[in-house]
Amino acid sequence: MSRPIGDVILDVSHISLSFGGVKALTDISFDVRKHEIRSIIGPNGAGKSSLLNCINGIYAPQQGSILFRGQEFTRRSSRQIAAMGIARTFQNLALFKGMSVIDNIMTGRNLKVRSNLFQQAVWLGPASREEVRHRRFVEEIIDFLEIQSYRKTPVGQLPYGLQKRVDLGRALAMEPQMVLLDEPMAGMSIEEKHDMSRFILDVNDEFGTTMVLIEHDMSIVMDISDRVVVLDYGKKIGDGAPAEVRSNQEVIDAYLGSSQ
């Protein structure tokens, strides 16, 4: 794969997070390079989601720092982080269930909206022109994710695999620098998993979006990732290209149970 992997855009250094006496993460460091597909894997309870939530600003790690494009953001709200160009999808789907596919994805454009409330309320020129522009962008995403025929369907009525796609679409609508994908393939059938990995690769390829994904299931991750971080019990036990990680003894032990 000769893809233009760039400089480091996300630099996580020595972060530790605990909830009361429970250590969720211990001294984790890794980086993500521009245009890369970077995966975080590990068995259940390894701290993957905690790590993602730190990057997303939902948790603030007690120690260490996170730099995104040179900007420190250990203590920022989710909203500020969204404004910095980090989008995310959710493991347990947090879509707006009663709203149509289009409306869901349109919410991703929220930060790009320039017209103010008053202009929107009276549907003045700038507001409606803007709406049309955003709508066009959203239609492109919908085409890209091949969900054209569902655009007016309330998301709650779609099958799970398609909801996951809408979730990805909403994240893409933010035109993010980096997307965090929280178990994008959890609970999917084999075909759905393949579709999803194709979309992840395509997004990465066409828009140059950096992807950070958490996965539980190793097989697909190994195929699509450039580099993989492996966590176990809140510690980093492996980091590198899929081939390296796969042959790492500690990783094998963590997944298969050590022999001692």
Partner 1 sequence: MAFFIEILIGGLMAGMLYALVGLGFVLIFKASGVFNFAQGAMVLLAALAMARFAEWIPQFLGLQSKVLANVLAFGLAMAMMFVLAWLIERLVLRYLVNQDGATLLLATLGIASFLEGMGQSIFGSSVYKIRIGMPKDPLFLFNSTFEGGIMVNQEDLIAAVIAAVLVTLLALFFQKTTSGRALRAVADDHMAAQSVGIPLNRMWVIVWCVAGVVATVTGMIWGSKLGVQFSLGTIALRALPVVILGGLTSIPGAIVGGLIIGVGEKMSEVYLGPIIGSGIEIWFAYVLALVFLLFRPQGLFGEKIIDRI
Nearest to partner 1 of 170, 236 (CB atom): 170
Which helix (H) or strand (E) covers residue 16, if one does? strand 8-19
Nearest to partner 1 of 176, 238 (CB atom): 176
Among 78, 148, 189, 249, binds partner 1 (CB under 8 A): 78
What contacts 125, CB < 8 A, 6 or more positions away?
none
Size of the site for partner 1 (CB under 8 A): 38
Stretch that binds partner 1, among 124-132, 144-152, 199-207, 236-244 (CB under 8 A): 124-132
SS3 (DSSP) at 259: coil
Q: Measured from the CB of residue 237, what is the shortest distance to partner 1 in angstroms?
A: 29
Among 77, 148, 189, 247, binds partner 1 (CB under 8 A): 77
- Termini Cα distance of the chain: 38
Among 1, 22, 117, 190, binds partner 1 (CB under 8 A): 117
Q: Measured from the CB of residue 7, what is the shortest distance to partner 1 in angstroms?
A: 25
Please tell me whether residue 98 binds partner 1 under the rule CB under 8 A.
yes
Whole-angstrom CA distances from 97 to 101, 105, 116, 180, 242 are: 9, 12, 26, 21, 36
17-38 exposure pattern, b = at least 16 Cβ within 10 A, e = fewer: beeeeebbbbebebbbbbbbbb
